[in-house]
Amino acid sequence: MAVNPIPFDTIEQCIHDRFDDIANKFPDRPAVTDENLTLSYSELQKATNKLAHRIIDLFGSKPGNVAFLIDNNVYQIIAILGILKAGGAYVALDTSFPEERNNFILEDAGCKMLICIEDNKNEARGLSQGIVLEYADQWLDEIPASKPQTAVLPSDNAIVLYTSGSTGKPKGVLQSHRNMVHFIKRMSEQLCILPSDKIAYYLSSGFSAHALPLLGGLLNACELKTYNLKSGNFFGFSKWFKESQISFAMMIPSFLRHFLSVQDRKDSYPDLRLLLLGGETLYRSDVEKALEVFDRNTVMVNIYASTEAYIMRSFIIKHDTIIKSNIIPIGYAVEGMELSILDEKGNPAQKNTVGEIILRSEYVTEGYWKRPELQKQDFTTDPANKNIRIFKTSDIAYFLDDDCIVHIGRQDEVVKLRGYRIDFGEIINILLESKDIREASCVLMKNPQGIDHIIAYVVPSGSDAPDIVYTQSMLSRVLPDYMLPSHIISIDALPKNDIGKIDHAILPEPEWQAEDSIEKEAPANDTETILLEIFEKVLKISPIGTNDNFLKIGANSLGLFVACAEVEKKFDIKLDIKAILETPNIKSLAAFINNKFLHS
| Domain at 586, CATH number | 1.10.1200.10
Same-domain check for residues 482 and 572:
no
Rounded to the nearest integer, the mean pLDDT of the chain is 86
Counting the structural domains of the chain, the total is 4
Same-domain check for residues 220 and 281:
yes
The domain in which residue 510 lies consists of 418-516
Same-domain check for residues 288 and 238:
yes
Q: Which of 306-315, 444-453, 490-499 has the highest mean pLDDT?
A: 306-315
Same-domain check for residues 236 and 348:
yes
Q: What is the pLDDT of residue 197?
A: 96
Same-domain check for residues 314 and 448:
no
Give CA–CA dist 136/51, Å, rounded.
7
Q: How many residues in the chain?
A: 600
Give CA–CA dist 89/66, Å, rounded.
6
Q: What is the pLDDT of residues 272-293, one digit of tens each?
A: 999 999 988 898 889 998 998 9
Residue type, position 494, single letter: L
Question: pTM higher than 0.85, yes or no?
Answer: no
Burial of 213 (0-12, 13-18, 19+ CB in 10 A): buried
For residue 516, pLDDT beyond 60: no
3-state class percentages of the chain: helix first, strand second, coil last, to nearest 5: 35, 20, 45
Between residues 400 and 476, the one the model is more confident about: 400
Instruction: Give the range among 182-196, 234-248, 504-518 with minimum mean pLDDT.
Output: 504-518
Between residues 5 and 41, the one the model is more confident about: 41
Domain for residue 164, yes or no? no
- Contact status, residue 203 vs residue 210, Cβ threshold 8 Å: yes
* Domain limit, last residue, from 485, 516, 547: 516
Q: What is the pLDDT of residue 413?
A: 67
Domain for residue 1, yes or no? no
Q: What is the pLDDT of residues 101-130, one digit of tens each?
A: 899 999 999 999 999 999 888 889 888 777
Q: Which of 29-33, 131-135, 333-337, 489-493 has the highest mean pLDDT?
A: 29-33
Give CA–CA dist 381/391, Å, rounded.
9
Q: What is the pLDDT of residues 526-568, one digit of tens each?
A: 999 998 898 888 877 778 888 887 766 666 555 677 787 788 8
**206, 233, 273, 313, 520 from 34: Cα distances, Å:** 19, 16, 21, 32, 62
Same-domain check for residues 91 and 236:
no
Same-domain check for residues 532 and 576:
yes
